[in-house]
Amino acid sequence: MTSVLRMTNPNLINGKNLHKGSPTLVRAEESKIRIPWRFSTKEVSFRTSQATASSGLSSTTTEPKGRELNTTTYDDKMLANYVPVYVMLQLGVITNDNVLENAEKLKKQLKKLKQSQVDGVMVDVWWGIVESNGPKQYQWSAYRNLFEIVQSCGLKLQAIMSFHRCGGNIGDDVNIPLPKWVLKVGDTNPDIFYTNKSGNRNKECLSLSVDNLSLFRGRTAVEMYRDYMKSFRENMDDFISSGVIIDIEVGLGPAGELRYPSYTETQGWVFPGIGEFQCYDKYLRSDYEEEVRRIGHPEWKLPENAGQYNDVPEATGFFEYSKGTYLEEQGNFFLSWYSRKLLLHGDQILDEANKVFVGCKLKLAAKVSGIHWWYKTESHAAELTAGYYNLKNRDGYAAIAKMMRRHHAILNFTCLEMRNTEQPEKAKSGPQELVQQVLSCGWREGIEVAGENALPRFDRDGYNQIILNARPNGINLDGKPRMFGFTYLRLSDRLLSEPNFTTFKTFVKRMHANQEYCSEPGRYNHELFPLERSKTNESLEKLMEETEVVDPLPWLEETDMSIKPFESLLSLLKNTFLRNKS
């Protein structure tokens, strides 16, 4: 596989020596000292033939003996590279009627899932289910029943505050609308929903334009989100205080992601269409008109030449590579305004979430979408319509990472499983470079970074790409850079069937740096502390001005802990033989 990153820093790890079981590993920190490592995937062995002051090890440090994988004794140096793995539960695990159906089947699935040594599960907590009957009429009983089952299986829980509709996105197999009474407001005022230039309304989530408008029986959209989270905290306090709930991911848009609903299948979008801008409701239109009058350009209008959902960039006046509107002053102003509104939206809701959960021993998180198609073109059209103002000479993700830093939030990114060679050539996709750019932004800002796969995968190639992105420099002394966690989409009978389940177990073991499941997060530097208040003294306006492009961190060409060909099959045959023999 061709390297997708120039290894420009000689002080950092050189990926060429780390592939396919190479016996040499190099520390992934800025040091010119090369330390030979001996590493085995059969027996956990992590040793160095020399110790230096820069390595943080005493010269008298003894070599830890290799340990068998089927023990619960850990190599602390390997634990520094441990990446916890979670599995997303089914979208409709709680029905539209607010019922936990098939509880016994779910218990069996979770017990089997636990055999893979995953750390926990993630679940959507649907606004459209819990507050469906009326304002502040929250019904939490079904989710409490679900959380009790998760707890009984010894699993941790990541809860998503899902303020969007389920249905209409890739992979959605159920339909869960927004609360009925909210939709009724939209019947008389459809401008509460995102709108494209043709006037089509998208009822997947509320437009960010109504964040601070009291249109919902006396409350603003942000107040509704805040009250929902407050009720969740009050009703789930026992699960929070006992350490079962460790992560609150705050929904910020369609599919729970911080973006505009620029590509929606229910609107006719098909991959790899560029999508459409979603700022033509009367509130956003009025906001834009006020802004252009303020700067002395009342003649500037919202884009009318940006094409339709399934166009290619070159077919539009706005995204045409050499002389498109996006290169002009007017286009630059629009894109800055469009992306700024999105960032302010995320900032305000995360601030409210921080107020609600401050003092709780958990992490806040927010998800950014992996829009990899048209990434390798000049105009990055699909990213621009989604609200990510990212170009070759302008970083569109640094400001998002800086905003999340204000609220002590984890940046959760998608498409970790994807490789460039798997994408159709016509899409001009760059998922590998995109992942590297976004993850590097997060790590440079000193925030935690987590990830998900965008599409279901059961093969070693997909898993190996995830392992690579989780530890871009491979196994090393300080375990940096390292993802804070990975969530696999999603729990299904297919995942739990063979040979898929054996392959998945091998994947989890590799993510755990070949260590057994560790129930003490502090041992791999994931100890949870009370959530601190947001850093409101930082100027968001100033953060948004920092768009300078910086090369991503170095990345190996392949993971140093890959799942080998036929490894899972041989493991399955061995286990079957031993089971039959016993």
Q: DSSP character for 283?
A: H
Contacts for 213 with CB less than 8 Å, ≥ 6 apart: 220, 221, 283
Is 367 annotated in a binding site? The answer is: yes
Of 219, 200, 452, 403, which is closest to residue 309 (Cα–Cα)? 200
- For residue 539 the two structure tokens come to 């100027």
CA–CA gap between residue 125 and residue 295 (Å, rounded): 42
CA–CA gap between residue 255 and residue 144 (Å, rounded): 23
| Sequential DSSP letters for 26-63 | --SSS-S----EEEETTEEEEEES---GGGT--TTPPP
β-strands 85-88, 485-488 pairing: parallel
Cα–Cα distances in angstroms (integers) from residue 377 to residues 368, 371, 380, 383, 454, in the given order: 20, 13, 6, 11, 22
Is position 257 annotated as part of the catalytic site? yes
Contacts for 264 with CB less than 8 Å, ≥ 6 apart: 168, 169, 202, 204, 254
Is 297 annotated in a binding site? The answer is: no
Q: Where are the beta strands (DSSP E) in 58-151?
A: 67-68, 85-88, 120-126
Residues in the chain: 582
| Sequential DSSP letters for 174-198 | S-B-S-HHHHHHHHH-GGGEEE-TT
CA–CA gap between residue 41 and residue 37 (Å, rounded): 13
Is 285 annotated in a binding site? The answer is: no
Is 394 annotated in a binding site? The answer is: no
Cβ distance 468 to 20 under 8 Å? no
Of 37, 46, 38, 131, which is closest to residue 82 (Cα–Cα)? 46
CA–CA gap between residue 399 and residue 422 (Å, rounded): 30
Is position 452 annotated as part of the catalytic site? yes
CA–CA gap between residue 534 and residue 194 (Å, rounded): 29
Q: Which residue has the tokens 């850093």?
A: 535
- For residue 376 the two structure tokens come to 């390798």
Is 525 annotated in a binding site? The answer is: no
- The strand order across the sheet containing 37-40 reads 37-40, 43-48, 67-68
User: Annotated catalytic residue: which of 131, 204, 257, 558?
Assistant: 257
Is 457 annotated in a binding site? The answer is: no
- For residue 512 the two structure tokens come to 């755990």
Cβ distance 388 to 370 under 8 Å? no
Is 490 annotated in a binding site? The answer is: yes
Collapsed DSSP state (helix, strand, coil) of residue 307 = coil
Is 464 annotated in a binding site? The answer is: no
CA–CA gap between residue 378 and residue 509 (Å, rounded): 40
Q: How many CB atoms lie within 10 A of CB 30?
A: 10
Is 453 annotated in a binding site? The answer is: yes
Of 211, 169, 215, which is closest to residue 190 (Cα–Cα)? 215
Q: Which residues are catalytic?
A: 257, 452
- Residue numbering of the annotated binding site: 124, 164, 172, 367, 372, 414, 453-454, 490
- Residue numbering of the annotated binding site for substrate: 124, 164, 172, 367, 372, 414, 453-454, 490
